[in-house]
Amino acid sequence: MSSESDSDGAHAGTSQSDAGSASDPGSVVAGSDDTEADDADDTAAEAAEEDEVAAEDDAEDASADAGDDSRDSTGPSRGGSKSPGSSSKDAGDDVVSERDPAPDAPVEADEPTVVSSTPARAEAASSKPTGAPASATVTDVPAPAAVTPQAPKRAPSFLAKWLGLGAQNSGGDPIAPVAAPLMLGTAATGRRTELRATAAASPAADAAPARLFGDGTAENPDAGLLFGNGFSYDALTCTGTTVCHGGNAGLLGGSAGHGYNGGNGGAAGLFGRGGNGGDGLPGGNGGNGGSGGRISGDGGDGGDAGISLLSATAAGTGGDSGLVGTKGRTGKAPAPITVGFPRSATYVTEGNGGTRVELVSVQLSGASATAVTVNYSVSNVSGNQYKATAGQDFAAATGSVVFAPGQTSASIPVTVYGDTDYEPDEAVFVQLTSAVGALIVRTATDGQLAGQSNLVLNNDDAASGIGMTLHLRGADAATVKREFDLMAAMNVTWVRIDIDWSAVEPRRGKLQWEQTDLLVQEAVAHQMNVLVMLGFTPTWAQSADAKFLAYPRHSRPKDLTAFANFATAAAARYAPLGVRSWEIWNEPNTTLFWPTRPDATEYGNLFRTAATAIRAVDPRATLLIGGLGPAYDTPGAEIPPAQYLEQLYSNGAAQLADGIAVHPYSYPHMPMDPQQRQNGGFADLPELQAVMVAHGDGNKLIWMTEFGAPTGTSVNAVTEQQQAELLLAARQQVAQWNWAGPLMYYELVDGGTNPADGEQNFGVLRQDLSLKAAAVALIEAGPFRRTSTPSTAV
């Protein structure tokens, strides 16, 4: 007989075989007369009095039977029908508790069944397991509140107290109908899962053995009362997004079942392992592991949290072990799926014409179970980078890319237009504007913000154009901006600045970049190419005899390693801003800038050291032999540029250079006037180019990094109008030489106001930034255009 009929029959005094019970008016035989009905009523009353006496006698002997009945009162229900002894007044006629009432609580036939329950430790968000019969559904309900019984409750046996016996829920922990166990810890808390049957039916005659032994099933996951394994759900028995909790094991032996889709693992009885919690669904938490056997058994492992698209999810905790055993491990909680650029910049060659599409890679941090959509924009808003021009260098655009489930990489297309203009490397700004199904993050580590990257168009055109040497001389930011505005009006595309080692690092290790930062940042803002002249030695790096020189800072450094360190620092600071061109030292072929006399071998060593250091930072850097000055027939004081270049080829330094920088002054004569007084002036440039051709460097350009004439009253000075004519003549000649690089005038602003000092009057602007005739002529001349095909792309 089932546990339901055992307990109900003992306390209600009824039997399943009594089809015509007094509490069942529907069992009265039709057609009986009033006398027979009265006799039946009298008989029923007498039977009730006898049953009441029998119940009192049974109560005296109940303590002797408590140990035998304790398991029956705590085992899980296996049937879907209501007990025959229960009254039709019971709330929810079709609900049967998964756990039976305690045997020591007498229940009157006409009163509701009382279930004393302490909630389980592991909360179980129960749902119907896949594959359950149509006649039953699984629902979650809170544990019912205790109801005071009609008769006093008997104290549980000592054995029951000691073991802490109690029912177990599919959330994985015991529900104890008795007080907290004396030896095994406190009673657990939680919720119960109940089975609601749509049609009441009496259990089969052979139901009792199945309830004591046997494994759980998908429909009824708990094992038999004494022995059996709880049911473990898997992808076949728990489909879709159903959350399935593992079944509890038998009291005396068996393993608890595993949960699935975030369901909790079942709990073991006295012996056995708790079930594992199921891994969470996408965006869901992992299930908790079930408790191991109270005497001996490992706790079940917690399930891993589901992959989350937008926020973190929680992993399941491991189940507790018994007196002997190991607590289950806590599951893993994966990070949210993110999307970003694997690189802060993608570099491509600009090209000399036509239209093509370049691709910028985008990546997810991991595969997503659902599609991820990422929106983007392509523009020229790119911070401190040189900006490409929309419609001229690239096509501005917006769009989206879609990652299919499981896909982790995609590309953003950018349309690029090639040209033949020499210009800085330009940046096209690519930004991830929003995403559905992923978080936009920064994946690069070089300062770019989240979801930002650049497509850098590397210039592949020959260097050309008009430039200007600019000395800061203490000017403030507003003045510097005004100077750059005026250069832009004069169609200047290059600015040559000094990075004076002696000014930036007057004390070893104390670098002061503020002045050069101002110039470089303004050049970037005006989209101008920058040529850096790197040179001049601070006091701490000079040789001992340098103090006897007229210009000690012009002396070569005593330690080339110190100069290499400075070159590295300068390149690291300005290469990311687009500075690519470097002129190493100034006029090393003259005594003025290489005292006490020029030496091509010594300079060759310095050039090699600096070039190696800068290229280690920026492999695409352009390195120029320091601007070779004209010789004025002063024996030993200068070496003519062509002769000095031959010496540099002999020691191997010239071959390392990307081009040759020269200062071909011709004043007071016009550039190509054969009567010019200098050896190595403008008219001698073809001779210098012949030396390069002879050494196989005919494809390298000659950069004219200083050219001009002083106005004022000094010897060899020219008028302002003559200055304008001289500068325009040089510009016209350079446009005809295919081996000529940029032409840079010396200089933008007068260095002083003394007209008798030629060095103070080379500017095309006066000290107050008013325009001389040369500035006006450059404005009117318009943009520089070559009239010959350049010989190189350097």
Residues 168 and 221: beta-carbon distance below 8 Å: no
Higher pLDDT, 24 or 412: 412
DSSP 277: P
**614 has pLDDT over 80:** yes
Which range (45-54, 193-202, 367-376, 387-396) has the least confidence? 193-202
Q: How many whole angstroms from its chain centre is CA 587?
A: 50
Residue for token pair 């350097």:
794
Statement: residue 67 has pLDDT above 50: no
Strand partners, 426: 457
Per residue in 420-458, pLDDT (tens digit) is 777 777 889 999 999 998 888 765 444 445 678 888 887
For 23, 175, 459, 483, 494, the CA distances from 526, given in Å and listed in that order, are: 101, 77, 17, 11, 10
Please, are residues 244 and 231 in contact by the beta-carbon 8 Å criterion?
A: no
Q: Are 243 and 225 contacting, i.e. CB atoms less than 8 angstroms apart? A: no
pLDDT digits (tens, 9 = 90+) for 343-366: 878 888 888 788 999 999 999 988
- Which stretches of 536-650 are DSSP H helices? 560-574, 600-617, 641-650
**Helices 477-489, 514-525: inter-axial angle, 10-degree rounding:** 40
Question: In what helix (H) or strand (E) does residue 25 lie, and over which residues does it extend?
Answer: none
Work out the angle at residue 561's Cα, subtended by the Cα atoms of residues 558 and 566, and round it to the nearest 5 degrees: 100
User: Beta 338-340 vs 701-707: how paired, if at all?
Assistant: unpaired
Percent pLDDT > 90 in the chain is: 54
Domains of the chain: 1-334 (no CATH), 338-458 (2.60.40.2030), 466-781 (3.20.20.80)
Sign of CA dihedral 99, 105, 108, 114: negative
> What is the rounded distance in angstroms from the CA atom of residue 674 to the CA atom of residue 350?
41
Assess whether pLDDT exceeds 60 at residue 183: no
Nearest to 187 by CA among 134, 143, 227, 222: 143
Whole-number Å distance between alpha carbons of 329 and 335:
19
Other Cβ atoms closer than 10 A to 286: 31
Q: Tell me how many degrees the CA angle 212-215-218 measures, rounded to the nearest 5.
A: 125
Contact criterion met (CB below 8 Å) for 495 and 531: yes
With b for 16 or more beta-carbon neighbours within 10 A and e for fewer, the 483-516 pattern comes to bbebbeebbbbbbbbbbbbbebbeeeeeeeeebb
- Alpha-carbon gap, residue 227 to 207, rounded angstroms: 15
Phi then psi for 149, rounded to 5 degrees? -70, 165
pLDDT at 713 over 60: yes
Q: Which residue has the tokens 């994985």?
A: 172
- How far apart CA 659 and CA 741 sit, in angstroms, is 9
Q: Which of 95, 202, 101 is nearest to 147 (CA)?
A: 101
Q: Specify whether the CB–CB gap between 222 and 229 falls below 8 A.
A: no
Tell me what pLDDT residue 159 has: 37
For the segment 33-50, what is each residue's pLDDT rounded down to a tens digit?
444 444 444 444 444 445
Highest mean pLDDT among 265-274, 459-468, 608-617: 608-617
SS3 of residue 410 by DSSP = strand
Give the pLDDT confidence score for residue 623 in this predicted structure: 98
Cβ count near 445 (within 10 Å): 7
Confidence of residue 608 (pLDDT cuts 50, 70, 90): very high
Range with lowest mean pLDDT among 22-26, 517-521, 609-613, 783-787: 22-26
Tell me which DSSP letter residue 168 carries.
E
- Give the Cα separation of 315 and 577 in Å (integer): 46
In whole angstroms, give the CA distance from residue 567 to residue 582: 10
Question: Which pair of tokens denotes residue 689?
Answer: 């180019």
Q: 361 and 342 in contact (C-beta within 8 Å)?
A: yes
Positive or negative torsion for Cα 346, 347, 350, 354: negative
Alpha carbon distance 139, 160 (integer Å) = 30
Q: Which one, of 498, 508, 514, 609, lies nearest residue 554 by Cα?
A: 498
pLDDT in tens, 524-560: 999 899 999 999 999 999 999 899 999 999 999 999 9
Q: Is the model's pLDDT at 14 over the cut of 90?
A: no
Higher local confidence (pLDDT), 372 or 203: 372
pLDDT digits (tens, 9 = 90+) for 100-112: 333 343 333 333 3
Q: With a cut of 80, say whether residue 691 has pLDDT above it.
A: yes
In 31-182, alpha helices (H): 34-74, 158-163
Pairing of strands 192-197, 409-417: unpaired
- Strand-pairing partners, residue 533, are 498, 583
Confidence class of residue 634 from pLDDT cuts 50, 70 and 90? Answer: confident
Question: Residue 518 burial by CB count (10 A; 0-12/13-18/19+): exposed, middle or buried?
Answer: middle
* 3-state DSSP helix/strand/coil % of the chain, to nearest 5: 25, 20, 55
Cα distances (Å, whole numbers) of residue 16 to 13, 43, 475, 574: 10, 19, 109, 96
* Cα–Cα distance, 641 to 14 (Å, whole number): 125
Query: How far is Cα 153 from Cα 170, in angstroms, rounded to an integer?
Result: 28
For residue 748, the number of C-alpha atoms closer than 13 Å in the C-beta half-sphere is 27
Q: How far apart are CA 524 and CA 530, in angstroms?
A: 9
Contact 583, 705 (CB under 8 A): yes
- pLDDT, one tens digit per residue, over 264-300 is 999 999 999 999 998 988 778 888 999 998 999 999 9
Find residue 771's DSSP bridge partners: 765
Output the six-digit token pair for 274: 């708790």
